[in-house]
Structure 1
Amino acid sequence: MDHENVSATLMVAAPAATVFTVLADPQTHAAMDGTGRVQEPLDREPLSEVGQVFRMNMYHPDHPDGNYQTANKLHVFDFPRAIGWYTGYDPKGDGQLEFGGWFWRYDLAPLSLSQTEVTLTYDWSQVPQRIREYINFPPFGPEHFTDSLRHLAALAAPTTPSGASEPT
């Protein structure tokens, strides 16, 4: 872990295009999450371009309301190599989004036709001091990143017609 970002890398037994498709589907994000905070998407459309916003229902026991929503804005969309988004919210409920300065990014490097090296990076280098005063970064342990990548690998794994994973 560096001072203002953390990353983890895992080899995934799936083609880069398949892994990217899982990442670009907001409906897979709750299953991919390593913290249990991501709940369900409010926007179910596949992610397709820089600037697109997708909202997620979230839960955190230390959040004042427990349940809350995030609005994530794509800032990287390079099929099938990289995808990333800033996490924000709509503080007044008027559609004017604010972003806290942290982002998620997945970089995919094909190792073969059926294997992809995936690096997940969480970066908070642009978070202003006023936010750092009440959120400790990163707001979860390093196991989150490994867990999330393992969940991604399981979601992207090829399956046989019966639904069972193919042997590796």
Structure 2
Amino acid sequence: MNETAHGEKKQTVTRTIEAPAKDIFQILTLPARHQEFDGSGMVRADEKSQRLQQVGDTFVMNMHNERFGDYRMENHVVAYDENKLVGWKPASPGTEAAGWQWVYQLQSVDQDTTEVSLTYDWSQVTDADLLAQNIFPAVSGEQMDASLAGLQSLV
């Protein structure tokens, strides 16, 4: 795990997974599977979302955390490159994304091995009220690493 330096507004974790990139990508692009590898414990279930296929797709997740209880997030796909990259920006349903994003990058090491990086980036959050709540990062590097470990266990 390699987290960025304190004070930066993003953190990245990386793990080498013994599986082809296409197999990992298939799991990442199916929101119904996200709860199975979520290391934060916040993802509960998707709202019958379709497989992610391109930038502009959206999917809705039912979420829960101690601070806010049960809530829903509408995720807007902002990065997509088949078998290499997928990322999204969460938003409250019906609103613009608030500026943080999740990005998974897949780098094939060989035919059956992939280096997977997960980046949580909140550098574009500009809402003063949201920033004043001091909730970023809402997910720790350890929880992110647990997500990659969960992803590894599924392939």
TM-score of Structure 1 vs Structure 2, range by shorter chain: over 0.9
- The partner residue of 2:89 within 72, 86, 98 is 86
Deviation of 1:78 after TM superposition, in Å, equals: 0.2
- What is the aligned counterpart of 1:35 among 24, 40, 50? 40
Give the length in aligned residue pairs.
149
Distance 1:43 1:101 in 2: 25
For 1:87-132, what per-residue CA distance to the aligned partner results, in whole angstroms no more than 9, with x for missing partners? Answer: 1112xxxxx3221100000010000110000000000000013311
Q: Per-residue CA shift, 1:16-49, capped at 9, x if unaligned?
A: 0111111001011001100110000003311111
Give 1:70 deviation, angstroms: 0.3
Structure 1, gaps ≥5 residues long: 91-95, 157-168
Q: Which runs of 4+ in 1 moved over 3 A?
A: none
Instruction: Mark the runs of 5 or more structure 2 residues left unpaired by the alignment.
Output: none
1:19 matched residue in structure 2:
24
CA distance in 1, matches of 2:22, 2:86: 12
User: 2: distance between equivalents of 1:155 and 1:28?
Assistant: 9
- 2:97 match: 99
Aligned partners of 1:61, 1:121: CA distance in 2, in Å?
Answer: 23
Distance 2:80 2:134 in 1: 28
User: Is structure 2 residue 149 aligned with structure 1 residue 144?
Assistant: no
Say which SS state the counterpart of residue 6 (structure 1) adopts. Answer: strand
CA RMSD for the aligned pairs?
A: 1.0
> CA–CA distance in 1 between the matches of 2:113 and 2:49?
27
Larger radius of gyration: 1
Identity in percent: 33
C-alpha displacement at 1:135, in angstroms? 4.0
**Structure 1 pair 135/57, CA: closer, same or farther in 2 (3 Å)?**
farther
